[in-house]
A and B are shown apart, each in its own frame.
Chain A
Amino acid sequence: MKLGQPFSCVAGLAVAFGMLPAVVQADAPAPGTDKKSADSKKAAASEAEGYVNRKMAENWKNPEASLKRLGAALTERVKSPEPDNVQKFVEKPANRLLLAQWMMAWQAVHNTHSEAIENSKRAAAGKHTNRDLDMQVQESILEDLPKGAKEEREVQKKKVEDIKKELAYLEDHQNLPWKLEEFAAYKNGKKLLEALSTDLDWMYQVVFSGDCSNPGRVLAVMQGVAERHPDFYTNRKVRDIATATGLEFARDCWEYGKAMDRADYYIRKWKERKLNVVFDTLPFWQLRICCGSKCSDGFGNASAGLPASFEWVQDNVRIPIERFSGCCWRCGYKLWNPYGQSVHGADYRNPYNGLFDSNHHQFTYEVGGVCGGLSHFGAYAATAHGVPAFTMGEPGHCAFILRVNGEWTPAYSVFWQHGLHWTPWRGNYRFTTLHMMTELLEESDARDNDVSYTYLALGRIYGERNRKKEALKCYFHAISAQPLNLDAWFACSRYLKENYPTDKELWRQLHDDVCKLLATRYPEVAADFLQRHVYDNLAKTSISKDEIKQCIHLFWSSMYDEGPARWEVGVMADRQMRLLEKDAVQPQVTVTIGEGDKKEEKKVDKLDPDRACYLFASIYSAVSTKPVIPTRVLDWMNELNAMHKGVMTERIKQLTAYFSHIPSGPDGDAMQNKMLLAAESTFNLDAFQSMGRDMADAKDMLSGEMPPHRPLRGAVMSQGGLVFAGSYGEADTPAGHWGVLEGCGGNIATAAEADPWVGVMLPRDAFVSGVIIIGPEDKTADRRDMVIQVSENGKEGSWQTVGSPLGECPGSISTADFGSSESKCKFIRVLRKGGNTPLQINAIYVYGRPAA
């Protein structure tokens, strides 16, 4: 390729992109919550008063018939699916109750999972066989005990009784209703069914708070609780706990007996006032998280929600809500148990069978575990106290997340990629679904939600009647009325797939709606939806490649920025690369990724550099003015380039410079500085490392040497990390930041102020044994009275001082040696107490050992 050629390519692309309109202004409004109108506040108030209408009692013995009848009533009351009519419809509580009843009928017909139910019954039958044998063994032992051994006989009798109770529950699990029509015919079910289905607020909890699978079983659980707790109908909290437990246990076909234990636990503890006060005012869908804590058999990790575990936690891990994120670290991270058995086998736990009585928490505390065990310890310690929490997956790791002070707070998190182990609805486990659902279920305008669901119902009703035009209209209205309603998106795409699989205009409309309505603030959810439900179909239509390019550009230009959290931009870009060729099968090549012992070979599509650079230019031009996402896009492209041996390096540099409008000289430096500081403030380690090193290299700052120092215990854990400060002063040089954590040294300087600090985000969690701080020889007075602080998440309010203050600074090197008192952390900072001068540092070396 000739010297001028790449640039002329770039210029050509620039011309092409000059023709595309900028969709999003640089100063787009920050994402915010919708304001409740006075009307909807009034509506919410009337709901809170409790609308009950016994005249609307329905015979649920034939849900299909109920669905038709209620559908007819609904369409009659709406009259026609015009926005004004639907708005009027949802204003009346009786209409909303009708909508909820229709929804329940729909769930009964379409959301009863026969195969999962059969699997669950089979598993229960197998368990019944084994427990039946246990009972006979224990009975034989009881019969053999001498009559005089009273105490022993009592203990043994209790064992037998407990097993009998379990067997009875397993039979209940088999025999109690699963389907709504079964519950309607159930001898004790009439009262509950009537009370529930005529109560607006209660119905909304059941059908609009998340998944409502197997509604017959939901009701069977509630009925079981009602029979055990006489105040079920009069005590709202008791009712809520029963409802939440029923919904969660039914959705995954969990054992009936365990549902009883779970509901009993929360009811009892709430009445005893033993739960954290946050439980008292939890929104209903968050109550479902607590009531839906995992509770598998035995004492594997997923048994952390069994009663024995919860009771132990109640006594031994009673802490303020913000401390649950660190509570797992009171347990040991132990890959091997004291018998030398690995955590990856059954023999890790086998030596302790029967000793912990299915108490996962006590076992983990006394014996140990690794990330799965510790994360389950932390998450379910929180839920045992009524604090919503659950585990989540990260690459090769299990972390957890809790609700603290209105924020979803990751804990024991090593990576930024998270896959949720629980969501309100099935079908999307992306991390920011959680944030979107929080907004939908707690902050959005209730009337918008009602309108959206009404349109969703109408879409389904008209669909059933084969009135396709009306159905389509309703589905698209459902989306636009409340873009956060994932159910509506899924339903719309399903309808298009079944009825208009190759209609380009409709798929294009759906695609564009995703971009304009969803990608703006929840780009990850939008990206996931497009990848799984739209792109495949779009590619099969007659859409041209030019139109595809427009679609791709529209997606990236629609988003305000990356959304509530970082997400896999690269995966989306890779998918779009295939879409550019209308998903034509590409030749495959084998590439090597990773380094050292993480090296592996992978089969990928053969790289077409022109297509890749086109896509990069398209995306980068759309996002270049946004604060954070350009660095993510750059990461993707650099990784792709590295995978293919750097064939696109020059073109990437030119494209980046062009679309970032980075001139050379001081203005260019200012731009790069701004990007680097953005990477630091968002803890974007990859971007910091790649940009930081390049900037240091450009300023010839890689060849420095720090004064020799005595190493501390362990290894240097900070290399490859990210450095950041509370403020930046005149003496600061962003190009010097990267070197602060490297052997060559660098420079970072705060503003002149009291309590300045410089922080380090470690590449991975570590047990820190000490810190070496190196600063300018002539500024030792500015480094007097430094302290070391650690944090799990780097946020204000989370820092804890460790070790002793460093006192006077004798020279360029200050040492904080914690000896055997290690501190576990992901973030560490050096804070100078008081003073009004800058804190300037040339190097920070954090010593320790990996924690995970």
Chain B
Amino acid sequence: MNTPYIFQMMNRITISMLAAIALLAVQPLSAATIVKNYEEGSKAAGKNGYIVFAYGANWDPTGLQVCKKHMESAAVKEAAGDAAMWTVPFYQLPNDEQKIDQGIKWGSLPQPHVFSSESYPGLLLFDKNGINYATINGAVVQKGTPEEVATKVKSAIDGKLKRDEIMARADAAQGAEKAKLLLEAALIPGLNRPEKIVEAIKAADPQNSTGAASVLTYEPSAKAEAYSEKTLAETIADMEKLLEQPFWQPEQRQSMYAIMIGKLHKEGQYEDRAKIRELARKMRELNPDSLFGRSSVVVERTWGGQIDYETGWSPICLPPGGGLVQIVGRVPISNPGRYTVTFVKTGGADLRVLAVEVHRGNTKVGADEHSCVVQYPKKEEEADPKKRTPRRLGARSEGKDEANVYTVNIPKGKDITLHVRVENGGNSYGRIVIRKK
């Protein structure tokens, strides 16, 4: 007997409703909505605004696919909260039809300026007023997983919410308090700086008592340039005075250390190299992962008046009248035993080495004390790369073969360092190779 049609329909409807309820149960209450264009997005978006997935429409064969991979993933949908999301084309040399298509999809959202750090595919996050508050592009979009992109989206949305909250408090505040809140809002990482925030801070704090305006207008290279004509003493004094001001952010403080380091390197004496090392360490402590932090390692080793094992010696490592120089960096003497230390000249003047010393702390615990002149290798060996080993690439000293090779004992224990005693400074370049025997 056939089931009456109406009961069939009711069954279908019931099943559909049950399915929908089941689906809703696993969806977040405020899930992102995927739409087709701005018009739909403006109706669908919640407090998290719009997330636009921009791709190269007629010039990048894989861009749309990359955008969809992220946009349609559960991770990104969840991270986006109640935002409306859609893909937007960015055409190359668009014809009229393409301009219209692009215009419809973007709607009244501002498109990236030609001088912006745009890259496609990319995510542009807009608030409900159409302000682009964050952009996510680069390797994470091109090569990253949806989960990695979702992390960035969540971080940006959370940052925006936090900023909105701070800005609301700033609206209610006045004077220095307002300026501080505006600064706090502007410094939230991962977001585009709010428009005219510097003007707002200046209006709230015209005397700059909080330093907020200075913080936001500080530019490391411009600051360094301002000191290019000043003396070493003036530079050090000014930077030390600036560092006393509490409102500077870590990166700005690192910049001040960098300016001092650069000045000492350019105009200081050999003895100032120890100060460079000290400043580099302070710079690193502020934020070892920033570009300043990472370059502090480089300047400490190469400008610090010591010989970096991986890059060798150069004129700035060598005390002008001779003396003792430590070999630093990744020196391969972790294990006790006998080691050879070979010197090879690669440019400039010859180097007169007097000894290689082993120290524990400040105490000498071993040495090979013969002198040699580190020169270029003999001509017949130079041509053949296979014959070019450190032992052969050496100098002959006054009467002694292989004099450029030193042999030392490294004892057990910590705090063991290697030092070279040189007779002269000068315009010499070269490398050191240390091998365990």
Chain B CB within 8 A of A186 CB = no
A820 to B199, CA, bound (A): 9
Residue of A nearest to B63 (CB): A318
A318 to B57, CA, bound (A): 12
Quick check: A340 and B225 within 8 Å, CB to CB?
Answer: yes
Quick check: B435 and A316 within 8 Å, CB to CB?
Answer: no
**B303 contacts across to A, CB distance below 8 A:** 350-351
Chain B CB within 8 A of A323 CB = yes
Known contacts A146-B334, A317-B119, A351-B299: does B59 contact A339 (CB below 8 Å)? no
Chain B CB within 8 A of A91 CB = no
Quick check: A337 and B92 within 8 Å, CB to CB?
Answer: no
Q: In the complex, what's the smallest C-beta–C-beta distance from A39 to chain B, in angstroms?
A: 34
Residue of A nearest to B142 (CB): A315
- List residues of A (815-848) whose CB comes within 8 Å of B's CBs: 819-821, 823-824
Quick check: B262 and A330 within 8 Å, CB to CB?
Answer: no
**A352 contacts across to B, CB distance below 8 A:** 291, 295, 298
**A335 contacts across to B, CB distance below 8 A:** 225
Chain B CB within 8 A of A483 CB = no
Contact partner of A322 (CB less than 8 A), chosen from B61, B92, B137, is: B92
Chain B CB within 8 A of A512 CB = no
Chain A CB within 8 A of B282 CB = no
A349 to B1, CA, bound (A): 88
A 251-281 binary contact with B (CB < 8 Å = 1; else 0): 0000000000000000000001110111000
**B118 contacts across to A, CB distance below 8 A:** 319, 323
B 385-417 binary contact with A (CB < 8 Å = 1; else 0): 100111001000000000000000000000000
A800 to B346, CA, bound (A): 54
Quick check: B262 and A339 within 8 Å, CB to CB?
Answer: yes
Quick check: A276 and B138 within 8 Å, CB to CB?
Answer: no
Q: In the complex, what's the smallest C-beta–C-beta distance from B421 to chain A, in angstroms?
A: 21
Quick check: A339 and B258 within 8 Å, CB to CB?
Answer: yes
Quick check: B90 and A320 within 8 Å, CB to CB?
Answer: yes
Chain A CB within 8 A of B436 CB = yes
**B117 contacts across to A, CB distance below 8 A:** 316, 330
Candidate in A136, A272, A274 with the most chain B CB atoms within 10 angstroms:
A136
Chain A CB within 8 A of B311 CB = yes
**A329 contacts across to B, CB distance below 8 A:** 115
- List residues of B (292-324) whose CB comes within 8 Å of A's CBs: 292, 294-295, 298-299, 302-303, 309-312
Quick check: A125 and B433 within 8 Å, CB to CB?
Answer: no
- Interface residues of A toward B: which range? 35 or more
Quick check: A133 and B385 within 8 Å, CB to CB?
Answer: no
A792 to B344, CA, bound (A): 52
Chain B CB within 8 A of A656 CB = no
Quick check: A321 and B332 within 8 Å, CB to CB?
Answer: no
A792 to B225, CA, bound (A): 28
Residue of B nearest to A366 (CB): B291
Q: In the complex, what's the smallest C-beta–C-beta distance from A8 to chain B, in angstroms?
A: 58
Residue of B nearest to A133 (CB): B431
**A332 contacts across to B, CB distance below 8 A:** 221
A321 to B388, CA, bound (A): 48
Chain B CB within 8 A of A574 CB = no
**A277 contacts across to B, CB distance below 8 A:** 58-61, 92
Quick check: B259 and A340 within 8 Å, CB to CB?
Answer: yes
- List residues of B (244-266) whose CB comes within 8 Å of A's CBs: 255, 258-259, 261-263, 265-266
Residue of A nearest to B60 (CB): A318
Quick check: A824 and B115 within 8 Å, CB to CB?
Answer: yes
**B228 contacts across to A, CB distance below 8 A:** 336, 340, 342
A370 to B12, CA, bound (A): 70
B 327-366 binary contact with A (CB < 8 Å = 1; else 0): 0001011110000000010100000000000000000000
**B93 contacts across to A, CB distance below 8 A:** 320-322, 404-405
Contact partner of B137 (CB less than 8 A), chosen from A276, A316, A336, A342, is: A316
**A130 contacts across to B, CB distance below 8 A:** 346, 431
Quick check: A321 and B59 within 8 Å, CB to CB?
Answer: yes
A583 to B436, CA, bound (A): 72
Candidate in A128, A146, A353 with the most chain B CB atoms within 10 angstroms:
A353
**A405 contacts across to B, CB distance below 8 A:** 93
Chain A CB within 8 A of B215 CB = no
Quick check: B385 and A171 within 8 Å, CB to CB?
Answer: yes
Known contacts A321-B93, A337-B221, A340-B266: does B346 contact A133 (CB below 8 Å)? yes
Known contacts A338-B258, A341-B262: does B120 contact A319 (CB below 8 Å)? yes
Chain A CB within 8 A of B56 CB = yes
Quick check: B119 and A318 within 8 Å, CB to CB?
Answer: yes
**A339 contacts across to B, CB distance below 8 A:** 224, 258-259, 261-262, 265, 299
- List residues of A (133-155) whose CB comes within 8 Å of B's CBs: 133, 136-138, 140-141, 143-146
- List residues of B (417-434) whose CB comes within 8 Å of A's CBs: 431-434
**A314 contacts across to B, CB distance below 8 A:** 142
**A319 contacts across to B, CB distance below 8 A:** 56, 118-120
A141 to B382, CA, bound (A): 25
Chain A CB within 8 A of B113 CB = yes
A404 to B389, CA, bound (A): 52
A215 to B63, CA, bound (A): 39
**A714 contacts across to B, CB distance below 8 A:** none
**A337 contacts across to B, CB distance below 8 A:** 221, 224, 262
Contact partner of B298 (CB less than 8 A), chosen from A137, A326, A355, is: A355
A821 to B199, CA, bound (A): 11
Chain B CB within 8 A of A347 CB = yes
Chain A CB within 8 A of B195 CB = yes
Chain B CB within 8 A of A334 CB = yes
**A167 contacts across to B, CB distance below 8 A:** 385
A334 to B60, CA, bound (A): 32
**B225 contacts across to A, CB distance below 8 A:** 335-336, 340
**A753 contacts across to B, CB distance below 8 A:** none
**B335 contacts across to A, CB distance below 8 A:** 144
A133 to B377, CA, bound (A): 13
Chain A CB within 8 A of B227 CB = yes
A 617-661 binary contact with B (CB < 8 Å = 1; else 0): 000000000000000000000000000000000000000000000
Chain A CB within 8 A of B114 CB = yes
A323 to B92, CA, bound (A): 9
Q: In the complex, what's the smallest C-beta–C-beta distance from B313 to chain A, in angstroms?
A: 12
A606 to B251, CA, bound (A): 60
Q: In the complex, what's the smallest C-beta–C-beta distance from A377 to chain B, in angstroms?
A: 12
Chain A CB within 8 A of B374 CB = no
Chain B CB within 8 A of A669 CB = no
Known contacts A133-B344, A338-B259: does B332 contact A140 (CB below 8 Å)? yes
**B379 contacts across to A, CB distance below 8 A:** none
Residue of B nearest to A825 (CB): B115
Quick check: B220 and A338 within 8 Å, CB to CB?
Answer: yes
Contact partner of B59 (CB less than 8 A), chosen from A125, A128, A278, A820, is: A278
**A821 contacts across to B, CB distance below 8 A:** 195
Quick check: A128 and B114 within 8 Å, CB to CB?
Answer: no
Chain B CB within 8 A of A354 CB = yes
A353 to B309, CA, bound (A): 14
Residue of A nearest to B91 (CB): A320
Contact partner of A143 (CB less than 8 A), chosen from B227, B261, B332, is: B332
Contact partner of A315 (CB less than 8 A), chosen from B143, B223, B265, B344, is: B143
Quick check: B262 and A340 within 8 Å, CB to CB?
Answer: yes
**B434 contacts across to A, CB distance below 8 A:** 140
**A733 contacts across to B, CB distance below 8 A:** none
A278 to B61, CA, bound (A): 11
Q: In the complex, what's the smallest C-beta–C-beta distance from A347 to chain B, in angstroms?
A: 7
Chain B CB within 8 A of A129 CB = yes
Chain A CB within 8 A of B62 CB = yes
Known contacts A133-B390, A143-B332, A800-B114: does B224 contact A315 (CB below 8 Å)? no
Candidate in A274, A318, A367, A405 with the most chain B CB atoms within 10 angstroms:
A318
Q: In the complex, what's the smallest C-beta–C-beta distance from A280 to chain B, in angstroms?
A: 9
8 contacts between A and B (CB under 8 A): A130-B431, A171-B385, A277-B60, A315-B138, A318-B56, A330-B117, A338-B259, A339-B261
With A128-B385, A170-B385, A341-B262 given, name 5 new contacts (CB 8 A).
A129-B393, A315-B142, A320-B92, A338-B258, A347-B262
Closest 3 CB pairs of A and B: A144-B332, A339-B262, A320-B92
